Homo-oligomer: A and B are copies of this chain.
Amino acid sequence: MTDTARPTSRDVARAAGVSQATVSLVLGDKWRGRVSERTADTVRTAARDLGYRPNLAARNLRLGRTRTALLVVPTITNEYFARVYTGAARVADDHGFGVVLYPSPEGVGPARDPFGSARAALDGVIASSMAADALAAIGDGGLPLVMLDADPAAPGPAATVNLAIADGMRQITRHVLGLGHHPGDIAHLAADIDTWTFHERAQALADTLGTTPPTERSPLAYQDARRATERLLARPGPPPTALICDDDVLAVGACKALRGHGLRVPDDVSVTGYDDSALATAVEPELTTVALPADAVGAQGMTALLDTLADHPATGTELPVRLVVRGSTAPPRHP
């Protein structure tokens, strides 16, 4: 009988012999001292018997808010964003909010109308790791916006939650230098993505090395990273003794390419990742990388949005990151 028309609150009222308003009060849990215990129970029973579910569209229209936030991410195939979502969803749930995930179709580019496609009616938007122009498209929605892992100097968003991306890159670079690698022997496998987070990494790396390292760019996929690494190895001169990668995925692809050229990790070439995804400990050797508190980012982002919605002054935050040393880095063979 799934074809039965859905009962409305009026149906419940009729069945319970009360008015719609009473139903609303009882089911909305605001009847303390306004409706008799017995009447309340009648209403609840009637609702249950009819299988009543409030019509969200009507409720949203009436209340003018939906208790729903949109989380815009560049891609869904990435553990980091899954963890951001988890953190955001947890906080949201604690406040009776829902989170709808919107993977920006163009990857990192301008989100093509998130408000049309993610058809939900929204109270606010959280956007993670988006390019600046994508931000513009989103900011246009007129909704409160919290940016995650994006340029804190950018205008528009009500609040920003950031990671100490540059600090992480400095830490890992110093770790490699500390192992005895010469600045001139270090190369950079960069993500071919035009966002703040990756600009930061390149900048911090160059700053810490005191020079701009040989760099190849690659999309965030194993095969691409492999090819990019091969381009790096094909350059004239001796191969680097250490390869600093913008992401664990790139690092894994790099390891494959190096191995394919008869180079051993970490004996011949040290490799570092960034993110500390599950992948980092799945491969051999395990990756030296930078751990990111992804769920804290999501949680803080949702908290900031909730604060904004409640007219509390939301501000910018920066979360620390942590160097994780594992087996993919070692002193250079010829110190």
Contact between chains at A119 and B117 (CB < 8 Å): no
Task: Pick the most buried of A68, A101, A120, A256: most chain B CB atoms within 10 A of its CB.
Answer: A120
**How far, in angstroms, from A252 to B252 measured CA to CA in the complex?**
13
Against B, the Cβ 8 Å flags (1 = close, 0 = not) of A36-71 are 000000000000000101011110110000111000
Against B, the Cβ 8 Å flags (1 = close, 0 = not) of A132-156 are 0000000011111000000000000
CB neighbours of A2 from chain B (8 A):
142-144
Contact between chains at B278 and A221 (CB < 8 Å): yes
Chain A: interface residue total (CB-CB under 8 A): 54
**How far, in angstroms, from A161 to B186 measured CA to CA in the complex?**
50
Task: Judge if A211 is at the interface, Cβ distance under 8 Å.
Answer: no
Interface residue stretch chosen among A10-18, A25-33, A233-241, A281-289? A281-289
Contact between chains at B278 and A4 (CB < 8 Å): no
Contact between chains at B281 and A282 (CB < 8 Å): no
**How far, in angstroms, from A249 to B282 measured CA to CA in the complex?**
9
Contact between chains at A68 and B119 (CB < 8 Å): yes
Known A76-B85, A101-B101, A119-B98; judge A279-B281 contact (CB<8 A). no
Task: Judge if A198 is at the interface, Cβ distance under 8 Å.
Answer: no
CB neighbours of A284 from chain B (8 A):
256, 259, 284
**How far, in angstroms, from A53 to B142 measured CA to CA in the complex?**
10
Against B, the Cβ 8 Å flags (1 = close, 0 = not) of A98-109 are 101101010000
Q: Ordered nearest first, which 8 A-B pairs have the shortest CB separation?
A: A98-B119, A57-B60, A56-B121, A120-B120, A57-B61, A68-B119, A77-B82, A222-B282
Known pairs A98-B116, A222-B278, A279-B279 / 11 extra A-B pairs, C-beta < 8 Å: A51-B142, A56-B121, A60-B60, A76-B85, A89-B103, A89-B117, A98-B119, A100-B120, A222-B281, A223-B281, A256-B284
- Could you give 18 example pairs across A and B, Cβ below 8 Å? A53-B141, A55-B61, A56-B60, A56-B120, A57-B57, A60-B121, A66-B119, A67-B119, A68-B119, A76-B82, A89-B105, A93-B117, A97-B119, A120-B120, A222-B281, A256-B284, A279-B282, A283-B283
